[in-house]
Structure 1
Amino acid sequence: MGIVLVTGATAGFGEACAITFASKGYDVIITGRRKERLEALSTQLTQEYGTNVLALNFDVRNESEVAQALGGIPEEWKAIDILVNNAGLAAGLSSIEEGSIDDWDAMIDTNVKGLLYVSRVVMPWMRSRTTGHIINIGSTAAKHVYAKGNVYCATKAAVDAISQGMRIDLLPYRVKVTAIHPGAAETEFSMVRFKGDEDKAKAVYQGFIPMSAQDVADIVYYVTTLPAHVCINDLVVTPLQQANAYYIDKN
């Protein structure tokens, strides 16, 4: 089928995407910071689907690590057909004047700079082959700012803008760029945002049926199955009980 690269593959959307593409016959490059989870996923994909897997343990926030780990992969792995820029996080929930600068740095460095670092390595390979598909995972937070979500919303708005810029840059090279903006999905997202506070994390998803990581992975896969001349540019997806980043009907 081809080769897909998924960043942030050790949990949530990234893990589900890696499994989904492997089940469809793709060879998979998976990246993540948690080495044990990465190795476990690599073993699972190989054993269950017989696919070739290249596991790269690095932090997308570190430009030199990205350049060394990703830029140094074997030549045959550079023929990447699909890049899923998934690595991202929300850290904290507070007004700007009470915000943690460490949280801001973590979100900006991962959600914006990390996406750029990875894309900068992979895009020339797609350009040289005049084919490929880049999928950037954004958020409904890119479209509507909500209280105390300021910096997280800003980083996802940046992903939206960067996706538009990529599409222009890659237009002459016939490389597709799709931004997918999920709403509420029950993954590790809230546990990370609330720094391991289970009660706060669970409360986010009470009173309605959120999406699952697999729901989003299925959508990511779907956009890659369209005819070569068709590209979904921008896709917002939410649970039925969610209208946008702010309004959720809980009962």
Structure 2
Amino acid sequence: MDVCTTIPDLRRAVGGLRAGGSKVGLVPTMGYLHAGHMRLVAEAQARAEAVVVSIFVNPTQFGDPKDLESYPRNTEGDLEMLREAGVQAVLMPQVSDIYPEGAETIVETERLAGMLHGAVRPGHYRGVCTVVAKLFNIVQPDFACFGEKDYQQLQIIRTMVRDLHFPLEIVPVPTVREADGLAMSSRNARLTPEDRAAAVVLSRALDAVEAAGGSVEQMAEKIRQVIATEPRATLRGLDITEARTLAPVTGHSKASLAVMISAEFGGILLIDQREITPQGAST
């Protein structure tokens, strides 16, 4: 496995893979890898002869410097997991490599980045789009894998690829969950045992609304009721939209819906989502 700490090193590694006729898949991560990340890697390996994983804690998507500073890291553990998985190359750049001195170019989806979770975390998706666009240009993959857990991010990246004519496919990968239903996330490691137990309320809320159905307004109220049963949870965002466009929806929808929740547990913001198809709706 080639561990590349500079952009030229990565480009040489990818050039060698392509010279051998390999299709290249990219899995962008911020490290502290878990089974959810490795599910993305496995999906990429099923589609390509060569897989590149990037490990880069992107400072421009953090609104709070303390959040950036406390983001969990485990470089040696990450590399060992990727070696065991048979990944061909890893990109581990410095911040100065991705954002050279004087850098002033940003990439942003205007509508999608400012709505829903983007309203809770201003500037977050601008940072995501900018760094992902840079990674696409650096690696030039045939496709890239993204988890469905951050559903808004997935749609934003799809939109960016379409709008900027990136010649690659975005591959969505279903959310990987712990045995109790909590969506896997690097942030889970920062939860206290009490908050970790409480965080399961997110998946319980999604289970409840999927089972109950009803109008969009009834679904939203059901989620609020379930979250309110957990005193350690502070609901920060609740959005139910048309799944593909993230357009607002009211009443009884005939289209698939994206149900997205963000909640805080002891100062740690977690997200969860589910795509729900109402009974008799079109997909």
Higher-Rg structure is 2
| TM-score when normalising by structure 1 | 0.42
Higher RCO, 1 vs 2 (CA within 8 Å, ≥6 residues apart): 1
| TM-score when normalising by structure 2 | 0.39
Structure richer in helix, relative to its length: 1
Structure richer in strand, relative to its length: 2
